[in-house]
Amino acid sequence: MRTQVVIIGGGPSGLLLSQLLHVRGIDSVVLERKTRDYVLGRIRAGVLERGLLDLMREAGVADRMEREGHPHDGTSIAHPGGMFHIDFKALTGHSVMVYGQTEVTRDLYDAREKAEGKIEFEVEGVEIHDADTESPHVTFRRNGTEHRIDCDFVAGCDGFHGVSRQAIPLSVRREYEKTYPFGWLGILSETPPVDDELIYANSERGFALCSMRNENLSRYYIQCGLSDKPGDWTDAAFWQELKRRLPEPVAERLVTGPSIEKSIAPLRSFVCEPMRWGRLFLCGDAAHIVPPTGAKGLNTAASDVHYLYNALRQFYEERDAEGIDRYSERALSRVWKAERFSWWFSSLLHRFPEQSAFDLGMQRAELEFLESNRAAQTAMAENYVGLPY
């Protein structure tokens, strides 16, 4: 095969890049290790920044999102001293959209299939060759048969454990990482959300988050130990602990029910530099990971897609390589800002094993400052709705 761009990874970032390139008449092939049903079975966050909303519209896949998504104009933050509201719309003029990542992925798959886009599922042994030359190619196996795709560029959208980042020599790449001493236990339940907007809670017992997917599908999280397993927690124990971490009026109106999904996610921050090597570009989790606090994972991947899509569009339409040459610099500048916000928000809301009385006092003062200071609220709101590209 021959194509212009090989995209490794059939998750939302790879599909969004493929669809945006298609709109501009740029050909791509997507390689995905799993099946479509497997990808759509992943339970992920669903808070979309304004930049991602615009990209979905530009890609022509925003109709269902606009119809079924839930715009949120703000969020609430609870702490031992009370609860306060951050009004995104009033502070920044922008909102976020609650629309599940699974639904984003489904819309993108439907669009690619409608356009007869090339997606190869269940591929194995993907290897990137000659990425540091002007003639890269990718090989893979499917159903026991070896395949080769010659291309102009390779986009690595294959996540933290994918092959793309590993294709960049160790002598070239530098990795930065922070691991957190706790995880998030999350459940999905067919119950009405406890509030119209998200509630983040800092309590003496640890962090909690009340989120939702739609009017009758709620997503709740509590901070837990790294050694905990989902099976250690019954539904009853989860609900009891969640209520203890929420303000009493919120806990009283919480509707509980059996969980339909339960999982534990570790928290970490990770950045790989550079995000480009020759004609190979890293996008999303292949290059960076953020804690889920603040919902920056998918949104930061989308910002990478924005920079790469426009760099490739500039190359093919204007024969200008400036966007390609500056892709890593531009993407990383925004990545590090998203990492900073996720780190700050995580530090603000969680209880850490090694926290001293002074540390707790600083955390309390930071929360009280955020509650009372409009400039601090504006800075938080600007980051939450998404910094401009």
The residues annotated as belonging to the active site are: 72, 200, 292, 296, 384
Q: Are 30 and 54 in contact (CB under 8 A)?
A: no
In sign, the C-alpha dihedral spanning 313, 328, 280, 135 is positive
Left (φ > 0), alpha (ψ -120 to 50) or beta: where does 182 sit? beta
223 C-beta neighbours (distance < 10 Å), count: 25
Q: Which residues of 364-383 are buried (b: 16+ CB within 10 A; e: fewer)?
A: eebbeebbeeeeebbebbbb
How long is the chain?
Answer: 389
Cβ-Cβ contacts under 8 Å for 18 (sequence gap 6 or more): 5, 7, 28, 30, 112, 117, 119
Residue 157 structure tokens: 């959208």
In sign, the C-alpha dihedral spanning 83, 87, 91, 97 is positive
Distance CA 282, CA 8 (A): 10
Distance CA 138, CA 287 (A): 19
Residue 365 structure tokens: 């003062």
Q: Are 222 and 206 in contact (CB under 8 A)?
A: yes
